[in-house]
Amino acid sequence: MTATVSIVVPCHDHGHLLAEALDSIAAQGVPVEVIVVDDRSTDDTIAVATARGATVVRSPAPGAGAARNAGVAVASAEVIGFLDADDLWPSGSLALRLAALAGHDAAFGAVDEFVQPGFDGEHPEPRSVGPTRMPGSMLLRREAWTAVGPIDESLKLGEFIDWVARFDNAGLRAKGIDDVVLRRRIHATNSTRDAGATAAASYLEVARMHRRRLSE
Amino acid sequence: MPRLTLPSPKVVAEVIDGEAIVLDLRAGTYFATEGVGSVAWSAAVDGHSSEEIAASASAFYGETEGADVAALLDGFVAAGLLVASEADDRTASEPITWPMPYATPVLEKHDDLQDMMQLDPIHDTDASGWPMPAPSGPQ
């Protein structure tokens, strides 16, 4: 059966969560090609991916942006989706977005967050938000990816925000639906001391580039 | 005289080449102002009071222009990008250098990236709500 959608799953040492993510893809009931992009994992990521029949690609550079780019580079279907190894798609996520994709360049839906069962570290309150454009909630046509170009791997954070901003700036159109299409897992905190400043700098750069494209 | 301070970490800002970009991380919106506006922004963040900044603009350009600058500073406060404080007794470190020619300063608001800016970093957020970067690849 020809795959309708190529799904790129970046994974860095999330082998223990990957099986659940891949099972949530399989449960969609849509013929798909699954590409797990391994980003220097030292755990059982490759074994888990292989056991579930996924194509495994090694990311040429660290970071989510590079991993997504590497996955799309080998994707064969005309529609592309992303699911991070620690997140899940609820039942119907793919079918609902495929239906919404008709006449649009991309489709996305609402997002629910959940706390990893058993995780008792400090964490933000899980949120439920309406249609939101993020990798795991968005399906896009290959032509849209080609028109916009790959994710900017130089950005440390906000690289997908930048990609979507470029999608908008290119005049492409995305359809949002109210159904929950992504369940994001909250499972870790990280308190690197200077991370706040790094994040702020990345976001400011994304905003600056967005504004520059608007004025071009 | 009240001085204006950045309500960090909710708001972050950067001025490069006469363009100030101000990001409200909680709302997911960003603001931009250029030229006279970015000089007024930098002066406020540096510790000049709003009255000093407006008076300086009036003296340099004229009264109408000074009123524009005062209105812009009010706009920063109204948008929640700066907070006025009577208790703030900072001394500004730099004199204000206004650009020529004058162009009426505008505070642009951009909310097109709002949904993503609000949600993006949730996997790595500490107690104060700061977004944290992925230290080693996708999370």
| Min distance B55 CA to chain A CA atoms (Å) | 30
CB contact residues (below 8 A), chain A span 38-67, against chain B? 39-40, 59, 62-64, 67
B21, B118, B138 member nearest A67 (Cβ): B138
Q: Which residues of A touch B34 (CB under 8 A)?
A: none
Predicted structure pTM score: 0.84
Domain ranges of chain B: 3-90
pLDDT band of B133, cuts 50, 70, 90: very low
Do residues A8 and A80 make contact, with C-beta atoms less than 8 angstroms apart? yes
Average pLDDT over residues B62-76: 97
Tell me the average pLDDT of chain B.
84
B135–A164 C-beta distance less than 8 A = no
Please give the single-letter amino acid code of residue B13: A
Q: Measure CB to CB from residue A161 to each of B21, B116, B123 and give the nearest one.
A: B116
Contacts of B118 in chain A (CB under 8 A): 129
CATH topology of domain A5-215: Spore Coat Polysaccharide Biosynthesis Protein SpsA; Chain A (3.90.550)
Per-residue pLDDT tens over the stretch B9-21:
789 899 999 999 9
> Is B134 close to A204, i.e. CB distance below 8 A?
no
CA A172/CA A159 separation, integer angstroms:
18
Residue A202, pLDDT score = 83
Which residues of chain B does A134 touch, with a Cβ-Cβ cutoff of 8 Å? 116, 119-120
A194: contact with B, CB 8 A cutoff: no
Partner-chain contact A157 B9, CB within 8 Å:
no
Per-residue pLDDT, A195? 57
Torsion of CA A104, A106, A111, A117, to 10 degrees: 140
* pLDDT band with cut points at 50, 70 and 90 for residue B132: very low
Residues B22-35 have pLDDT tens digits of 999 888 899 999 99
Task: Tell me, rounded to whole angstroms, the distance of Cα B29 from its chain centroid.
Answer: 13
Tell me if ipTM is over 0.90. no
Asked whether the predicted pLDDT for residue B121 surpasses 90, the reply is: no
Question: What integer is the mean pLDDT of B116-137?
Answer: 45
Res A58: pLDDT: 96
Measure CB to CB from residue B137 to each of A64, A198, A207 and give the nearest one: A64
What pLDDT is stored for residue A201 in this prediction? 82
Is B134's CB within 8 Å of A133's CB? no
Cis-peptide into B9, omega within 30 deg: yes
Measure the CA dihedral A155/B124/A208/A65, to 10°: 30
Q: Of B13, B23, B115, which has the smallest distance from its Cβ to A132's Cβ?
A: B115
DSSP assignment string, A120-162: -S--PPP-EESS---GGGEEEEHHHHHHH-S--TT-SS-HHHH
Per-residue model confidence (pLDDT) at position A10: 95
Residues in chain A, pLDDT under 50 = 189-194
Confidence at residue B118, expressed as pLDDT on a 0 to 100 scale: 73
Candidates A59, A130, A156; nearest CB to B133? A156
pLDDT of residue A85: 93
Residue B44 confidence (pLDDT): 95
The answer to whether residue B134 scores a pLDDT higher than 60 is no
* Fold exhibited by the domain B3-90: Outer Surface Protein A; domain 3 (3.90.930)
Instruction: Name which of B6, B8, B17, B21 to mutate to probe chain A: the one with the most chain A Cβ atoms within 10 A of its Cβ.
Output: B21
CB neighbour list of residue A7: distance below 8 Å, 6 or more residues apart? A25, A32, A33, A34, A35, A80, A81, A82, A83
A101 min Cα distance to partner chain B (Å): 20
